[in-house]
Amino acid sequence: MITKKKKFVFGMKKDRQLDGDKMNLDFAKRVEAEGGKGSAIAACMQCGTCSGGCTNIDVMDMSPRTLILMIQRGEWEKVLQSNTLWMCSSCYICTSRCPRGVRPSDVIEAVKAIAIEEGIKNDSTKFNQIFVDLVQKRGILFEPELMQRFGGLQAMIDQAPLGIQLVLRGKMSPFPEKIKNPQQFSQALDKARKKHENND
Ligand code: SF4
Ligand code: SF4
């Protein structure tokens, strides 16, 4: 008689769960050091509640649940290459609903920083870098400049109808704006940089 292997344990797929002693938590430690303190990666029981409530799961190639599992398994490359890092909108629904106190949103933020450090290049990292450069330059974003640097002239032309609508409705300025106290902003940036360097 052929006995079928049990695929589910307490309603969850057996192959999803990872025993603590089979986890490779090297990457998890790095995630925690990068700002994911208290992210409780090892506590994940793969229930999928985070994925069920995720607002952007339709455009992600890896659900938050799978991302946590890949980190537990030590599959760094898959995690660092996943578009989930860049599609996450930091809405924190996953974190607020997790029954085990895991913080997928903090994990994703930390892995994003690691991906940039590791030199991962894709459209999202390019967009992020331009965004950061421009905010550092002015203290406030000027969207047409972001569009031009990211997508060139063609992007400007493509987005022109939307841009005009935004300007007419007062949602976007047609000219770069200035912040009230640029010096205070630079000091805050320097402080944040130093704090980050000291944590390394
Ligand atoms: S809700 Fe929490 S425990 Fe459940 S899969 Fe997501 S991170 Fe893991
Ligand atoms: S924080 Fe990110 S991963 Fe979590 S529910 Fe929101 S979009 Fe999904």
Spell out the domain ranges in the chain. 9-117, 123-199
Please report the sign of the dihedral spanned by the C-alpha atoms of residue 108, residue 111, residue 116, residue 120: negative
Q: How many CA atoms lie within 13 A of 152 on its CB side?
A: 1
More confident residue, 148 or 15: 148
Tell me the average pLDDT of the chain: 86
In this predicted structure, what is the pLDDT of residue 79? 94
- What distance in angstroms lies between residue 72's CA and the mean position of ligand 1's atoms? 12
Q: Could you read off the pLDDT of 119-140 as tens digits, one per residue?
A: 998 888 898 889 989 998 888 8
Residue 10 tokens read as: 């307490």
Residue 91 tokens read as: 């809405």
Give the C-alpha separation, 200 to 33, whole Å. Answer: 8
Residue 59 tokens read as: 């455009």
CB 69: neighbour CB atoms within 10 A? Answer: 20
12: β partners: 9
Q: Could you read off the pLDDT of 181-191 as tens digits, one per residue?
A: 888 888 888 89
Share of the chain above pLDDT 90, in %: 50
Give the C-alpha separation, 55 to 193, whole Å. Answer: 31
pLDDT band at 15 (very low <50, low <70, confident <90, very high): low
Give the C-alpha separation, 119 to 115, whole Å. Answer: 6
The amino acid that residue 141 corresponds to is L
CB 138: neighbour CB atoms within 10 A? Answer: 16
The predicted model gives 61-69 an average pLDDT of 95
In this predicted structure, what is the pLDDT of residue 35? 74
CATH, domain 9-117, list 2.40.37.20, 3.30.200.20, 1.10.1060.10, 1.10.287.3510:
1.10.1060.10
Residue 39 tokens read as: 């992210």
Q: Could you read off the pLDDT of 20-53 as tens digits, one per residue?
A: 667 888 888 889 888 767 888 999 999 999 999 9
Q: Kindly report the protein residue whose alpha carbon is nearest to atom 2 of ligand 1.
A: 98
Q: Could you read off the pLDDT of 87-97 as tens digits, one per residue?
A: 999 999 999 99
- What distance in angstroms lies between residue 193's CA and the mean position of ligand 2's atoms? 26
CB of residue 56 inside a 6 A radius of ligand 2: yes
- Report the DSSP pairing between strands 12-13 and 8-9: antiparallel
pLDDT band at 12 (very low <50, low <70, confident <90, very high): low
Q: Kindly report the protein residue whose alpha carbon is nearest to atom 8 of ligand 1.
A: 44
- What distance in angstroms lies between residue 6's CA and the mean position of ligand 1's atoms? 22
Residue 2 tokens read as: 């052929």
- Give the binding-site residues of ligand 1, using a 6 Å CB cut-off: 44-50, 64-65, 68, 98, 100, 102, 104
Which of 2-6, 18-22, 115-119, 190-194 is predicted least confidently?
2-6
Atom of ligand 2 nearest to the CA of 89: 7
